[in-house]
Amino acid sequence: MSPDTIVIDSSARVPDADIWFVLPAGFIALPLRELVQSRQGLGEEGDKLNAVSALVDSSHSSEERRQILALLAPVQRMLRLLSHGGVVHCSMGLHRDDEGDGGVLPSLFTLGWRETSWAPRGVTVSRLAAGTPDARFVEVLDLPCGPASLNETLVNHQVVGTAQELLQVTVHIPYPEATKLAILSLSATATHRADHYRNLLREVARMVTFEDPLTANREGV
């Protein structure tokens, strides 16, 4: 498969879809429903979901396995809440560290919706940018689909009794009707690669569209 190959997920053709986005190579969609409904813990031996066990078992060292489990451990608990708060997509990213020891750098991408009171999109973005006091980086984006805000925070989670610091980069994009927000979030264990993850999510956000990009292709058939 060439680097320019684009694989179109079946969800892109759902009649009532209202957002389209592109993820780079190295991301694998996770079954959101199974992650939410399973009662098994991701951090215990033998209790991994079949949907993600292949990702964990494919790592080449115990350290890589630990990093992946560190990221996955809070996922199930978080998604049980997030699924009721508008999260509609979840993907696991596994990429090689080409500036370090070549190990696997796991990440987690989620896409969700949040209802909001109507306001001009620029006003909403300004409020979001100013309303994240714990963010260590904040930026206002001018995307092809409209204005957006990007913020970066560090979140602490307990993983098997040990505190694990996770990087979380979030982009909020007001929907054209200005009554809801598209929330793109990228979490990672490699906090020292914050610049890379920030740039990655920024580029993903630039590809977001609220107009069906496949319409022209269908009309040409």
CATH, residue 76: 3.40.1000
Once rounded to an integer, what is the mean pLDDT over residues 151-179?
A: 84
Specify whether the CB–CB gap between 96 and 103 falls below 8 A: yes
Q: Report the C-alpha gap between 168 and 165 in whole angstroms.
A: 10
Q: Is position 217 within any domain? A: no
Q: Report the C-alpha gap between 47 and 113 in whole angstroms.
A: 30
Once rounded to an integer, what is the mean pLDDT over residues 47-59?
A: 51
Instruction: Output the pTM of the full model.
Output: 0.78
> Look-up: residue for tokens 């007001």?
174
Q: Is position 10 within any domain? A: no
Q: Is position 160 within any domain? A: yes
pLDDT confidence of residue 93: 87
Q: Report the C-alpha gap between 109 and 170 in whole angstroms.
A: 10
The domain total for the chain is 1
Between the ranges 5-14, 108-117, 211-220, where is the mean pLDDT highest?
Answer: 108-117
Q: Is position 61 within any domain? A: yes
Q: How confident is the model at residue 54 (pLDDT cuts 50, 70, 90)?
A: low
Q: How confident is the model at residue 185 (pLDDT cuts 50, 70, 90)?
A: very high
Q: Report the C-alpha gap between 148 and 143 in whole angstroms.
A: 7
- Residue 26: helix, strand or coil by DSSP? coil
Specify whether the CB–CB gap between 167 and 191 falls below 8 A: yes
Q: Is position 174 within any domain? A: yes
List pLDDT tens digits, range 161-171. 556 788 999 99
Q: Is position 21 within any domain? A: no
Of the given ranges (46-50, 151-155, 215-219), which has the lowest mean pLDDT?
46-50
Boundaries of domain holding 95: 29-210
Q: Is position 216 within any domain? A: no
Backbone dihedral angles phi then psi of residue 15, each to the nearest 5 degrees: -55, -35
pLDDT confidence of residue 80: 52
